[in-house]
Structure 1
Protein backbone atom coordinates (compact mmCIF):
# COMPACT_ATOMS: atom_id res chain seq x y z
CA UNK A 1 0.00 0.00 0.00
CA UNK A 2 1.34 3.43 -0.91
CA UNK A 3 0.60 6.60 0.91
CA UNK A 4 -0.51 9.62 -0.98
CA UNK A 5 0.88 12.86 0.38
CA UNK A 6 -0.09 16.38 -0.38
CA UNK A 7 1.40 19.66 0.61
CA UNK A 8 -0.97 22.51 1.14
CA UNK A 9 0.24 26.04 1.51
CA UNK A 10 -2.17 28.60 2.86
CA UNK A 11 -1.19 32.20 2.49
CA UNK A 12 -3.11 35.17 3.73
CA UNK A 13 -2.55 38.81 4.35
CA UNK A 14 -5.41 38.92 6.86
CA UNK A 15 -3.14 40.11 9.64
CA UNK A 16 -1.96 43.11 7.65
CA UNK A 17 -5.47 44.16 6.75
CA UNK A 18 -7.33 46.91 8.52
CA UNK A 19 -10.05 46.41 11.08
CA UNK A 20 -13.62 46.73 9.89
CA UNK A 21 -14.38 50.35 9.01
CA UNK A 22 -10.80 51.21 8.03
CA UNK A 23 -8.85 50.99 4.77
CA UNK A 24 -5.15 51.45 3.88
CA UNK A 25 -4.31 55.14 3.37
CA UNK A 26 -1.89 54.52 0.44
CA UNK A 27 -0.85 58.18 0.36
CA UNK A 28 2.72 57.19 -0.57
CA UNK A 29 4.47 53.92 -1.44
CA UNK A 30 4.51 51.61 1.58
CA UNK A 31 1.85 53.60 3.47
CA UNK A 32 -0.37 50.91 4.97
CA UNK A 33 -1.73 52.99 7.85
CA UNK A 34 -5.41 52.18 8.35
CA UNK A 35 -7.72 55.17 8.05
CA UNK A 36 -11.35 55.90 7.29
CA UNK A 37 -12.39 55.81 3.64
CA UNK A 38 -12.82 59.59 3.81
CA UNK A 39 -9.20 60.04 4.97
CA UNK A 40 -7.95 57.73 2.18
CA UNK A 41 -9.97 59.70 -0.37
CA UNK A 42 -8.57 62.95 1.05
CA UNK A 43 -5.00 61.63 0.64
CA UNK A 44 -5.71 60.62 -2.97
CA UNK A 45 -7.31 64.00 -3.67
CA UNK A 46 -4.34 65.82 -2.11
CA UNK A 47 -1.91 63.75 -4.21
CA UNK A 48 -3.84 64.51 -7.39
CA UNK A 49 -4.10 68.24 -6.71
CA UNK A 50 -0.54 69.29 -5.88
CA UNK A 51 -0.35 71.77 -8.77
CA UNK A 52 -0.65 75.25 -7.33
CA UNK A 53 0.23 74.20 -3.78
CA UNK A 54 4.01 74.62 -4.07
CA UNK A 55 6.15 77.76 -4.32
CA UNK A 56 8.94 77.92 -6.90
CA UNK A 57 11.49 76.86 -4.26
CA UNK A 58 9.51 73.70 -3.44
CA UNK A 59 8.03 74.97 -0.20
CA UNK A 60 4.28 74.95 0.37
CA UNK A 61 2.22 77.99 -0.52
CA UNK A 62 0.46 80.00 2.17
CA UNK A 63 -2.35 77.96 3.69
CA UNK A 64 -0.59 74.64 3.13
CA UNK A 65 2.02 72.60 5.01
CA UNK A 66 3.95 69.46 4.16
CA UNK A 67 1.93 66.34 4.96
CA UNK A 68 5.14 64.65 6.09
CA UNK A 69 4.10 61.00 6.38
CA UNK A 70 7.83 60.41 5.80
CA UNK A 71 10.57 62.93 5.09
CA UNK A 72 10.22 62.07 1.40
CA UNK A 73 6.52 63.04 1.41
CA UNK A 74 6.41 66.54 -0.08
CA UNK A 75 2.65 66.77 -0.60
CA UNK A 76 1.22 70.11 0.54
CA UNK A 77 -2.02 69.87 2.52
CA UNK A 78 -4.07 72.08 4.81
CA UNK A 79 -3.15 72.22 8.51
CA UNK A 80 -6.36 70.35 9.33
CA UNK A 81 -5.43 67.50 6.99
CA UNK A 82 -1.88 67.42 8.42
CA UNK A 83 -3.30 67.15 11.96
CA UNK A 84 -5.62 64.30 10.91
CA UNK A 85 -2.73 62.54 9.11
CA UNK A 86 -0.64 62.73 12.29
CA UNK A 87 -3.53 61.37 14.40
CA UNK A 88 -4.12 58.52 11.95
CA UNK A 89 -0.43 57.60 11.98
CA UNK A 90 -0.35 57.63 15.79
CA UNK A 91 -3.46 55.40 15.95
CA UNK A 92 -2.14 52.97 13.32
CA UNK A 93 -1.30 50.07 15.67
CA UNK A 94 -4.87 50.05 17.00
CA UNK A 95 -6.49 49.87 13.59
CA UNK A 96 -5.00 46.67 12.24
CA UNK A 97 -6.98 43.46 12.21
CA UNK A 98 -6.92 41.90 15.66
CA UNK A 99 -5.61 38.68 14.12
CA UNK A 100 -2.20 40.36 14.23
CA UNK A 101 -2.12 39.59 17.94
CA UNK A 102 -1.94 35.85 17.31
CA UNK A 103 0.36 35.89 14.33
CA UNK A 104 3.12 33.62 15.48
CA UNK A 105 6.76 33.72 16.36
CA UNK A 106 7.62 37.04 14.67
CA UNK A 107 4.65 39.08 15.91
CA UNK A 108 5.68 42.41 17.42
CA UNK A 109 4.53 43.71 20.76
CA UNK A 110 2.10 46.62 20.79
CA UNK A 111 3.64 49.88 19.54
CA UNK A 112 6.11 48.03 17.29
CA UNK A 113 5.96 47.01 13.63
CA UNK A 114 8.30 45.13 11.32
CA UNK A 115 11.13 47.34 10.04
CA UNK A 116 11.01 45.84 6.51
CA UNK A 117 14.48 46.98 5.41
CA UNK A 118 13.90 44.17 2.89
CA UNK A 119 11.12 41.64 2.36
CA UNK A 120 12.55 39.32 5.03
CA UNK A 121 13.27 41.91 7.74
CA UNK A 122 11.04 41.13 10.71
CA UNK A 123 12.88 43.19 13.33
CA UNK A 124 10.31 45.01 15.46
CA UNK A 125 10.75 48.78 15.58
CA UNK A 126 8.63 51.87 16.29
CA UNK A 127 6.48 52.98 13.33
CA UNK A 128 8.62 56.10 12.84
CA UNK A 129 11.68 53.88 12.31
CA UNK A 130 9.83 51.85 9.68
CA UNK A 131 8.97 55.04 7.80
CA UNK A 132 12.59 56.21 8.07
CA UNK A 133 13.67 52.83 6.68
CA UNK A 134 11.29 53.26 3.73
CA UNK A 135 12.71 56.75 3.12
CA UNK A 136 16.29 55.45 3.23
CA UNK A 137 15.42 52.59 0.85
CA UNK A 138 13.81 55.04 -1.58
CA UNK A 139 16.86 57.33 -1.48
CA UNK A 140 19.41 54.49 -1.83
CA UNK A 141 20.48 54.99 -5.45
CA UNK A 142 21.16 58.69 -4.86
CA UNK A 143 23.57 57.86 -2.05
CA UNK A 144 25.75 55.44 -4.02
CA UNK A 145 28.84 56.24 -6.03
CA UNK A 146 31.37 54.16 -7.90
CA UNK A 147 34.25 53.87 -5.46
CA UNK A 148 36.67 51.59 -3.64
CA UNK A 149 33.85 49.22 -2.56
CA UNK A 150 32.27 49.00 -5.99
CA UNK A 151 29.21 50.72 -7.47
CA UNK A 152 27.43 50.83 -4.11
CA UNK A 153 30.10 52.76 -2.25
CA UNK A 154 28.41 55.40 -0.09
CA UNK A 155 28.84 59.08 -0.85
CA UNK A 156 30.61 61.21 1.77
CA UNK A 157 28.75 61.41 5.06
CA UNK A 158 26.95 58.08 4.60
CA UNK A 159 27.72 54.49 5.61
CA UNK A 160 26.11 51.14 4.85
CA UNK A 161 23.14 50.56 7.14
CA UNK A 162 23.95 46.87 7.70
CA UNK A 163 20.49 46.09 9.09
CA UNK A 164 21.10 42.57 7.74
CA UNK A 165 23.96 40.78 6.01
CA UNK A 166 24.43 42.37 2.59
CA UNK A 167 22.39 45.52 3.36
CA UNK A 168 24.03 48.18 1.19
CA UNK A 169 21.58 51.03 1.71
CA UNK A 170 23.57 54.12 2.65
CA UNK A 171 22.45 56.02 5.74
CA UNK A 172 23.90 58.50 8.21
CA UNK A 173 26.08 56.93 10.94
CA UNK A 174 23.40 57.51 13.59
CA UNK A 175 20.86 55.53 11.53
CA UNK A 176 23.30 52.63 11.16
CA UNK A 177 23.74 52.68 14.94
CA UNK A 178 19.93 52.69 15.32
CA UNK A 179 19.69 49.61 13.07
CA UNK A 180 22.29 47.88 15.27
CA UNK A 181 20.40 48.82 18.45
CA UNK A 182 17.11 47.64 16.91
CA UNK A 183 18.70 44.34 15.88
CA UNK A 184 20.09 43.82 19.39
CA UNK A 185 16.69 44.61 20.96
CA UNK A 186 14.67 42.60 18.44
CA UNK A 187 13.83 39.63 20.67
CA UNK A 188 12.69 41.87 23.51
CA UNK A 189 10.10 43.42 21.17
CA UNK A 190 8.52 40.17 19.96
CA UNK A 191 5.31 38.89 21.58
CA UNK A 192 5.95 36.21 24.16
Structure 2
Protein backbone atom coordinates (compact mmCIF):
# COMPACT_ATOMS: atom_id res chain seq x y z
CA UNK A 1 0.00 0.00 0.00
CA UNK A 2 1.31 3.42 -0.91
CA UNK A 3 2.27 5.57 2.08
CA UNK A 4 -0.20 8.46 1.97
CA UNK A 5 1.14 10.17 5.06
CA UNK A 6 3.44 13.06 5.80
CA UNK A 7 6.10 12.86 8.47
CA UNK A 8 4.38 12.82 11.86
CA UNK A 9 4.22 15.92 14.02
CA UNK A 10 4.79 15.02 17.65
CA UNK A 11 2.20 16.17 20.19
CA UNK A 12 1.73 15.67 23.89
CA UNK A 13 -0.75 12.88 23.15
CA UNK A 14 1.56 10.83 20.94
CA UNK A 15 2.31 10.82 17.23
CA UNK A 16 -0.17 12.90 15.26
CA UNK A 17 -0.71 12.42 11.55
CA UNK A 18 -3.10 15.26 10.71
CA UNK A 19 -3.35 15.06 6.94
CA UNK A 20 -2.52 12.78 4.10
CA UNK A 21 0.15 14.09 1.76
CA UNK A 22 -0.86 12.44 -1.48
CA UNK A 23 -3.58 10.30 -2.94
CA UNK A 24 -3.21 7.75 -5.66
CA UNK A 25 -4.16 8.76 -9.19
CA UNK A 26 -7.56 7.40 -10.16
CA UNK A 27 -7.53 4.57 -12.67
CA UNK A 28 -7.67 6.06 -16.16
CA UNK A 29 -9.61 3.37 -17.95
CA UNK A 30 -13.36 3.82 -17.39
CA UNK A 31 -16.47 2.31 -18.86
CA UNK A 32 -17.77 4.93 -21.24
CA UNK A 33 -20.60 6.96 -19.80
CA UNK A 34 -20.97 4.82 -16.69
CA UNK A 35 -18.45 6.08 -14.12
CA UNK A 36 -19.76 8.23 -11.30
CA UNK A 37 -17.16 10.83 -10.38
CA UNK A 38 -17.18 12.89 -7.21
CA UNK A 39 -14.67 14.82 -5.15
CA UNK A 40 -13.59 13.07 -1.95
CA UNK A 41 -15.39 14.08 1.21
CA UNK A 42 -13.87 16.90 3.22
CA UNK A 43 -12.47 16.30 6.70
CA UNK A 44 -11.97 19.92 7.79
CA UNK A 45 -14.29 19.53 10.76
CA UNK A 46 -12.59 16.41 12.12
CA UNK A 47 -10.13 17.23 14.92
CA UNK A 48 -7.47 14.72 13.84
CA UNK A 49 -8.01 14.74 10.10
CA UNK A 50 -9.78 12.14 7.94
CA UNK A 51 -8.72 9.24 10.15
CA UNK A 52 -10.15 10.65 13.38
CA UNK A 53 -11.15 7.71 15.58
CA UNK A 54 -14.57 7.27 17.13
CA UNK A 55 -14.84 7.77 20.87
CA UNK A 56 -12.98 5.12 22.83
CA UNK A 57 -10.40 4.37 20.13
CA UNK A 58 -6.89 5.59 19.34
CA UNK A 59 -4.43 5.01 16.50
CA UNK A 60 -2.56 1.72 16.74
CA UNK A 61 0.71 2.96 15.19
CA UNK A 62 2.23 -0.50 14.97
CA UNK A 63 4.36 0.78 12.06
CA UNK A 64 4.78 4.27 10.59
CA UNK A 65 1.54 5.37 8.95
CA UNK A 66 -0.65 2.86 10.81
CA UNK A 67 -3.84 4.78 11.63
CA UNK A 68 -6.09 1.81 12.36
CA UNK A 69 -8.26 2.68 15.36
CA UNK A 70 -7.92 0.31 18.31
CA UNK A 71 -8.53 0.29 22.04
CA UNK A 72 -6.02 2.18 24.21
CA UNK A 73 -4.95 -1.18 25.69
CA UNK A 74 -4.17 -2.55 22.23
CA UNK A 75 -2.10 0.53 21.42
CA UNK A 76 -0.16 0.10 24.67
CA UNK A 77 0.35 -3.62 24.01
CA UNK A 78 1.53 -2.81 20.48
CA UNK A 79 4.20 -0.43 21.79
CA UNK A 80 5.37 -3.12 24.21
CA UNK A 81 5.52 -5.66 21.37
CA UNK A 82 7.62 -3.28 19.30
CA UNK A 83 10.08 -2.92 22.17
CA UNK A 84 10.28 -6.70 22.77
CA UNK A 85 10.31 -7.69 19.12
CA UNK A 86 14.08 -7.97 18.61
CA UNK A 87 14.43 -10.31 21.58
CA UNK A 88 11.85 -12.66 20.04
CA UNK A 89 13.60 -12.97 16.69
CA UNK A 90 16.07 -15.61 15.53
CA UNK A 91 19.28 -14.49 13.75
CA UNK A 92 17.75 -15.67 10.44
CA UNK A 93 14.87 -13.19 10.83
CA UNK A 94 12.21 -15.70 11.75
CA UNK A 95 10.47 -15.69 15.10
CA UNK A 96 11.54 -17.84 18.00
CA UNK A 97 9.29 -20.79 18.93
CA UNK A 98 5.96 -19.62 20.34
CA UNK A 99 5.95 -16.35 18.37
CA UNK A 100 4.66 -15.31 14.93
CA UNK A 101 4.87 -12.20 12.77
CA UNK A 102 2.22 -9.69 13.78
CA UNK A 103 1.38 -8.66 10.21
CA UNK A 104 -0.76 -5.60 10.79
CA UNK A 105 0.41 -5.17 7.19
CA UNK A 106 2.80 -7.18 5.06
CA UNK A 107 5.83 -5.17 6.22
CA UNK A 108 5.08 -5.70 9.93
CA UNK A 109 7.35 -8.58 10.95
CA UNK A 110 7.41 -7.87 14.69
CA UNK A 111 7.32 -11.19 16.57
CA UNK A 112 4.31 -11.56 18.86
CA UNK A 113 2.22 -14.29 20.46
CA UNK A 114 -0.39 -15.77 18.06
CA UNK A 115 -3.30 -14.08 19.85
CA UNK A 116 -1.77 -10.68 19.07
CA UNK A 117 -1.68 -11.51 15.37
CA UNK A 118 -5.32 -12.61 15.53
CA UNK A 119 -6.18 -9.32 17.23
CA UNK A 120 -4.36 -7.38 14.50
CA UNK A 121 -6.38 -9.14 11.81
CA UNK A 122 -9.60 -8.38 13.68
CA UNK A 123 -8.69 -4.73 14.18
CA UNK A 124 -7.95 -4.36 10.46
CA UNK A 125 -11.29 -5.93 9.57
CA UNK A 126 -13.18 -3.53 11.84
CA UNK A 127 -11.35 -0.37 10.72
CA UNK A 128 -14.28 1.33 8.89
CA UNK A 129 -16.59 1.12 11.91
CA UNK A 130 -14.09 2.81 14.21
CA UNK A 131 -13.73 6.04 12.25
CA UNK A 132 -15.86 9.09 13.00
CA UNK A 133 -16.60 9.43 9.27
CA UNK A 134 -15.19 6.74 6.94
CA UNK A 135 -16.62 8.72 4.02
CA UNK A 136 -14.15 11.52 4.79
CA UNK A 137 -11.12 9.38 3.97
CA UNK A 138 -9.15 10.34 0.84
CA UNK A 139 -9.35 8.70 -2.56
CA UNK A 140 -7.14 5.65 -2.82
CA UNK A 141 -6.06 3.41 -5.67
CA UNK A 142 -9.50 1.86 -6.26
CA UNK A 143 -12.26 3.37 -8.43
CA UNK A 144 -15.88 2.27 -8.80
CA UNK A 145 -18.51 2.54 -11.50
CA UNK A 146 -22.24 1.76 -11.58
CA UNK A 147 -24.34 0.39 -14.40
CA UNK A 148 -27.93 1.32 -13.65
CA UNK A 149 -30.98 -0.91 -13.69
CA UNK A 150 -34.60 -0.14 -12.82
CA UNK A 151 -34.28 -0.76 -9.09
CA UNK A 152 -30.71 0.31 -8.48
CA UNK A 153 -27.49 -0.69 -10.18
CA UNK A 154 -24.54 -3.04 -10.45
CA UNK A 155 -21.33 -1.87 -8.80
CA UNK A 156 -17.92 -2.65 -10.34
CA UNK A 157 -14.40 -1.81 -9.14
CA UNK A 158 -10.84 -1.67 -10.43
CA UNK A 159 -7.57 -0.41 -9.00
CA UNK A 160 -4.15 -1.01 -7.51
CA UNK A 161 -1.93 -0.19 -4.54
CA UNK A 162 -3.49 -2.89 -2.35
CA UNK A 163 -2.07 -5.65 -0.16
CA UNK A 164 -1.22 -8.58 -2.45
CA UNK A 165 -3.52 -11.61 -2.24
CA UNK A 166 -5.63 -10.09 0.53
CA UNK A 167 -9.35 -9.26 0.77
CA UNK A 168 -10.62 -5.88 -0.40
CA UNK A 169 -13.99 -5.03 1.13
CA UNK A 170 -16.52 -2.47 -0.09
CA UNK A 171 -18.99 -0.46 1.98
CA UNK A 172 -21.53 2.29 1.38
CA UNK A 173 -21.74 5.19 3.81
CA UNK A 174 -23.91 8.29 4.10
CA UNK A 175 -27.03 6.30 3.41
CA UNK A 176 -29.96 5.66 5.74
CA UNK A 177 -28.26 2.89 7.73
CA UNK A 178 -26.35 2.86 10.99
CA UNK A 179 -22.67 2.47 10.21
CA UNK A 180 -21.04 1.27 6.98
CA UNK A 181 -23.25 -0.93 4.80
CA UNK A 182 -21.43 -4.00 3.50
CA UNK A 183 -21.60 -4.45 -0.28
CA UNK A 184 -19.19 -7.29 -0.99
CA UNK A 185 -15.53 -8.14 -1.36
CA UNK A 186 -12.85 -8.96 -3.91
CA UNK A 187 -9.31 -10.28 -3.55
CA UNK A 188 -6.28 -8.34 -4.78
CA UNK A 189 -3.95 -10.27 -7.06
CA UNK A 190 -0.27 -10.96 -6.39
CA UNK A 191 0.58 -7.46 -7.65
CA UNK A 192 -1.86 -5.83 -5.23
CA UNK A 193 -4.35 -4.96 -7.95
CA UNK A 194 -7.97 -5.54 -8.96
CA UNK A 195 -7.47 -6.34 -12.62
CA UNK A 196 -10.08 -4.99 -15.00
CA UNK A 197 -13.54 -3.96 -13.86
CA UNK A 198 -14.79 -6.62 -11.47
CA UNK A 199 -18.34 -7.05 -10.21
CA UNK A 200 -18.86 -6.12 -6.54
CA UNK A 201 -22.59 -5.96 -5.80
CA UNK A 202 -26.16 -5.61 -7.01
CA UNK A 203 -27.35 -2.48 -5.18
CA UNK A 204 -31.09 -2.05 -4.66
CA UNK A 205 -32.69 1.32 -4.08
CA UNK A 206 -33.68 2.61 -0.64
CA UNK A 207 -36.71 4.84 -0.35
CA UNK A 208 -36.04 8.23 1.26
CA UNK A 209 -32.39 8.09 0.19
CA UNK A 210 -31.77 11.64 -1.03
CA UNK A 211 -28.05 11.77 -1.77
CA UNK A 212 -25.41 9.66 -3.49
CA UNK A 213 -23.74 7.01 -1.38
CA UNK A 214 -19.99 7.21 -0.80
CA UNK A 215 -18.23 3.94 -1.54
CA UNK A 216 -15.56 3.09 1.03
CA UNK A 217 -12.81 0.53 0.44
CA UNK A 218 -11.05 -1.47 3.16
CA UNK A 219 -7.69 -3.02 2.30
CA UNK A 220 -7.92 -5.72 4.94
CA UNK A 221 -4.24 -6.60 4.66
CA UNK A 222 -3.28 -3.21 6.08
CA UNK A 223 -6.50 -1.85 7.63
CA UNK A 224 -6.28 1.22 5.36
CA UNK A 225 -9.66 2.77 4.54
CA UNK A 226 -10.10 4.97 1.47
CA UNK A 227 -12.95 6.18 -0.72
CA UNK A 228 -13.47 5.00 -4.29
CA UNK A 229 -16.21 7.33 -5.55
CA UNK A 230 -19.99 7.49 -5.25
CA UNK A 231 -23.06 5.72 -6.59
CA UNK A 232 -26.62 6.85 -7.28
CA UNK A 233 -27.94 3.29 -7.20
CA UNK A 234 -29.46 3.56 -3.74
CA UNK A 235 -31.89 6.23 -4.88
CA UNK A 236 -32.89 4.78 -8.26
CA UNK A 237 -36.32 3.45 -7.33
CA UNK A 238 -37.86 3.03 -10.75
String of CA shifts for 1:63-109, please: whole Å, max 9, x gaps.
10000122211100001111111111111111111x333x4xxx6xx
TM-score by length of 1: 0.52
1:86 pairs, out of 117, 121, 132, with 121
- Structure showing greater radius of gyration is 1
Q: 1:131 to 1:54 in 2, by over 3 A?
A: same
- Correspondence for 2:134: 100
C-alpha distance in structure 2 between counterparts of 1:129 and 1:50, whole Å: 28
Does structure 2 retain, via aligned residues, the 8 Å contact 1:26–1:40?
Answer: yes
- Structure 1 residue 14: deviation in Å? 4.0
Q: Paired residues, what number?
A: 124
- Aligned pairs (5 A) from 1:12-23: 12=46, 13-23=48-58
- Correspondence for 2:191: 175
Residue ranges of structure 1 left out of the alignment (5+ in a row) = 1-9, 108-112, 116-120, 133-172
C-alpha distance in structure 1 between counterparts of 2:162 and 2:56, whole Å: 24
User: Comparing both structures, which one devotes a greater share of its residues to strand?
Assistant: 2
Secondary structure of the residue that 1:190 maps to in structure 2?
A: strand
C-alpha distance in structure 1 between counterparts of 2:67 and 2:196, whole Å: 25
Determine whether 1:69 maps to 2:104: yes
Determine whether 1:46 maps to 2:81: yes
Residue ranges of structure 2 left out of the alignment (5+ in a row) = 1-42, 145-156, 165-188, 201-213, 216-227, 232-238
Determine whether 1:24 maps to 2:24: no
Does structure 2 retain, via aligned residues, the 8 Å contact 1:25–1:39?
Answer: yes
- Correspondence for 1:36: 71
